[in-house]
Amino acid sequence: MADLSDQELLDALGVSAKPKKQVTHSAKEERLLAGFEEIQRFVETHNSMPEHGEDRDIFERLYAVRLDKLRGLAEARELLADVDHQGLLTGEMPVVKATKEPVSDEELLAELGVASQASDITELKHVKSRAEIRAAEDIDSRKRCEDFETFKPMFDLVQQEISNGIRETRPFKDDASIQQNDWFILAGQKVYVAEAEPIFVADYGRTDRRLRAVFDNGTESNILMRSLERALQKDETGRRITDPNAGPLFSNEKEDGDAASGTIYILRSKSQHPTVAKNRDVLHKIGVTRTSVKSRIANAKNDPTYLMADVEIVRTYELFNISRAKLESLIHRVFEPARLEIEIKDRFGKPITPREWFLVPLFVIDEAVERIQDGTISNYIYDPQVASLKRVG
């Protein structure tokens, strides 16, 4: 029997002498694999799949979004099938629907580096700097704001001032400083810097400080100033809410070149309604008109706006070069805590709730007018408990 060659012996044993082909992956595939490994490590650590929901850690929510996208991508399923020992691509992931997401899925995808177009959906960012991770953790470490009722009127006030043009929103990048009492918009939520601790020196000799940041969803965070800066810089929609600057809004005397704008008026009702009669001395209607006040109130007894009764003119101020709507909104914002809640039926029996009557002493209204004139009114709001203007913040 002839001696068999080495190759023939290997063939007889069923051993292939050909070297096993080395599998190589493109950069895109490497990113997909790396991103999927992060999800697998999360599942191993927590013994559960990542879930959506406001109450979830930001990284868990990012992994949940990533897993959704990988499941819907055919090339990703094919690439990851051999390494999916946990069945993540085929299993059903429980979803917790949040009542209010502080950031949208699009913003979460942006955090991952995933574009909204299907053609770019595999562009996942794998590595984050430690500073970015710390910033994300800092932002997400929110808790319930126990005294949010104190801040809610301020949030309502600021929104009203934005709507009426008293305040503006500007890109944060244009003014990146952060101080106590500043207002911002981060991921679609208004943020108020309620408190600021003393400045200290952090890593690399940079100064920093702890802030108490209150969010409009009733949460707060003891966040580092630098972390808030990074979050606002990174958020393409991050905005600063400017301080209102009313300036000298009007004067009792017309100067050369001034254009008449109208009149601010303060009225007192002669209604015999029990609530009105009981509070007549402190119940006032504050409004602005471009016509004469007398013609405006001529039909007061038939108008539910005037409580279906005649009224007495208490004060008037002539306006020049001023937006009547903005001024009226500003005044009503200041006295919002003392707005009268009353229902009046019109001539046809339809219930109407007038919105321009306030339980405010006349001397406080006079002070408010003075502060409007000197431009300081934006710093005040009426406090019914002490019947006086209170400085905001």
Phi, psi of 297 (to 5 degrees): -100, 5
Rounded to two decimals, the pTM is 0.41
Helices 58-71, 130-140: inter-axial angle, 10-degree rounding: 110
Residue 116 pLDDT > 50: no
Residue 310 pLDDT > 60: yes
388/335 Cα distance (integer angstroms): 10
Helix (H) or strand (E) holding 189: strand 189-196
pLDDT digit string (tens) for 329-350? 888 889 999 999 888 888 888 8
pLDDT digit string (tens) for 272-297? 999 999 999 999 999 888 888 998 89
Percent of the chain topping pLDDT 90: 22
C-beta contacts of 64-72 below 8 A and 24+ residues apart? 64/93, 64/95, 65/105, 65/108, 65/109, 65/112, 65/114, 66/35, 66/38, 66/39, 66/112, 66/114, 66/124, 67/39, 67/93, 68/93, 69/109, 69/114, 69/121, 70/32, 70/35, 70/36
* Other Cβ atoms within 10 Å of 387 Cβ, number: 14
Domain ranges of the chain: 27-127, 137-241, 260-391
126/133 Cα distance (integer angstroms): 12
Dihedral Cα 77, 52, 187, 236, nearest 10 deg: 0
Pairing state between β 388-391 and 344-345: unpaired
- Over the chain, what is the mean pLDDT? 78
Give the confidence band of 107 by pLDDT, cuts at 50, 70, 90. low
43 and 85 in contact (C-beta within 8 Å)? no
Residues 6+ apart with CB under 8 A from 119: none
Residue entry with tokens 């300081």: 376
295 and 285 in contact (C-beta within 8 Å)? no
Residue 271 in tokens: 């209604």
| 255 secondary structure, DSSP code | P
